[in-house]
Amino acid sequence: MQKIQYFFYAISILLLSGCNLSIDNAGGGTVTSSDNNLHCGTTCRFNYNTTQTVTLSATSEPGYIFDRWSGACTGSEECTLTIGQTSGHKNVKVHFVPARSLSLGGWHSCALENGDVTCWGADNRDIAEGQTLVPDDLNNPIAISAGLLHSCALGDNGVTCWGRNLEGQINIPTNLSNPTAISAGDFHTCALDDNGLSCWGVENFDWGQADVPATLQNPSQVSAGWERTCVIDDNGVQCWGRSNVENATPTNLVNPRSVVEGVYNTCAIDDAGVQCWGDDYLGQSTVPPGLVNPRSVTLGMYFGCALDDNGITCWGSNAYGQTTVPENLSNPTTIKAGLYHMCAWDDNGVICWGNNNSAQSTVPTELITTEAN
């Protein structure tokens, strides 16, 4: 009798409490529901006591485009679902991607704008390994990543890589399932897909950076560097590869939302701002005070840069002028560091500075607006 009473009690609680519809949004736009109960630019949820059909709409912010849904909704079409009482809790993830982005390698640079990928530099025959020769068959690329001597893109055909392959860094695994993110390191490459994280390469430079830990839980971001790899998962920032006391991940990170792996150091953005750790030989891990609402951080060889409300701030080595930020930047929205050079995207297009010994800082004219020419 007690079991029967407990059963009906549990059912009554379920019916009274209803079910939650939650939205996970990493940024780049907002999600609203047809019943106006949900409107969020980050994570939000609403409890439905009665069963009803709800349609979710995604609206991108300037500089971003809507990519797809995942979770209780999939694909890039309209998201309509039934929620309430006995439906069970449902979670929907929305994915926005930058309409334009930059990625810099050792001696080359790549830009993505409205589905077109352009790469330049690496014109020195000693380091030219095809990393700037963008394949003609890229289909609707939404992300790019430049490694030391190779490049990768993510599009409708999945992951495509080109350039150096002596370490197997462009030998893409055949079992990737719906990849959502790509990161090209110096001698290895990593991708996030439906199965989690996959990494490949490093045959001749193996420090364990491609050995994905089995303990990762729902990784949502990946950054492949020189000798290490870092992700953000349900437990925060996780890194592996060559390790020592200096590059041990800090235990005081609070709600990290971005991580970037450099050559000898790592940086993350959390509730406290930009935090860096690892080698600090030339001050590349000493973040200048005074950053206001930092949105992104990037690392090169012995230097770093961040984008915040005041623009771009760089620190560390300035051997090639890479930390001397041009004064004529106008509303920069994207930054990226190469080995010894920097690029930014602002109102006038792409501008690069620092090392230019392989034309990696000589921006193609099609990426510069008429006003800036």
In this prediction, residue 95 carries a pLDDT of 83
Measure the CA angle with vertex 257, ends 326 and 156; round to 5°.
85
| Sign of CA pseudo-dihedral 237, 243, 244, 246 | negative
Confidence of residue 208 (pLDDT cuts 50, 70, 90): very high
> Closest by alpha carbon to 270, among 244, 284, 250?
250
Average pLDDT value for residue range 120-129: 85
53-105 pLDDT, tens digit per residue, is 999 999 888 777 788 888 888 877 789 999 987 788 999 988 887 778 999 99
CA distance 302 to 282: 6
Most confident residue range from 29-38, 95-104, 238-247, 293-302:
293-302
145-193 pLDDT, tens digit per residue, is 999 999 999 999 999 999 999 999 999 999 999 999 999 999 999 999 9
Residue 12 has pLDDT above 50, yes or no: no
Residue 117 has pLDDT above 90, yes or no: yes
Question: How much is the mean pLDDT over the chain?
Answer: 90
CA distance 46 to 189: 39
In this prediction, residue 14 carries a pLDDT of 43
| Sign of CA pseudo-dihedral 287, 152, 27, 348 | positive
Which amino acid belongs to residue 355? Answer: N
211-232 pLDDT, tens digit per residue, is 999 999 999 999 999 999 999 9
In this prediction, residue 85 carries a pLDDT of 74
CA distance 310 to 181: 29
CA distance 298 to 337: 6
Rounded to 5 degrees, what are φ and ψ at 360?
-70, -15
- Give the distance, in angstroms, between the CA of residue 61 and the centroid of all CA atoms in the same chain: 17
Confidence of residue 247 (pLDDT cuts 50, 70, 90): confident
Confidence of residue 123 (pLDDT cuts 50, 70, 90): confident
In this prediction, residue 148 carries a pLDDT of 95
3-state secondary structure the chain: CHHHHHHHHHHHHHHHHCEEEEEEECCCEEEEECCCCCEECCCEEEEECCCEEEEEEEEECCCEEEEEEEECCCECCCEEEEECHHHCCEEEEEEEEECEEEEECCCEEEEEECCEEEEEECCCCCCCCCCCCCCCCCCCCCEEEECCCEEEEEECCEEEEEECCCCCCCCCCCCCCCCCEEEECCCEEEEEECCEEEEEECCCCCCCCCCCCCCCCCCCEEEECCCEEEEEECCEEEEEECCCCCCCCCCCCCCCCEEEECCCEEEEEECCEEEEEECCCCCCCCCCCCCCCCCEEEECCCEEEEEECCEEEEEECCCCCCCCCCCCCCCCCEEEECCCEEEEEECCEEEEEECCCCCCCCCCHHHECHHHC
CA distance 224 to 170: 14
**Predicted model pTM:** 0.81
In this prediction, residue 371 carries a pLDDT of 53
Percent of the chain residues topping a pLDDT of 70? 93
Q: Which residues contact 103 (CB under 8 A, 6 or more apart)?
A: 109, 110, 112, 144, 145, 146, 151, 184, 336
Q: Which residues contact 224 (CB under 8 A, 6 or more apart)?
A: 147, 183, 184, 185, 188, 189, 190, 199, 209, 261
Rounded to 5 degrees, what are φ and ψ at 3?
-65, -40
Q: Which domains does the chain have, with CATH numbers?
A: 2-96 (2.60.40), 97-372 (2.130.10.30)
CA distance 371 to 373: 6
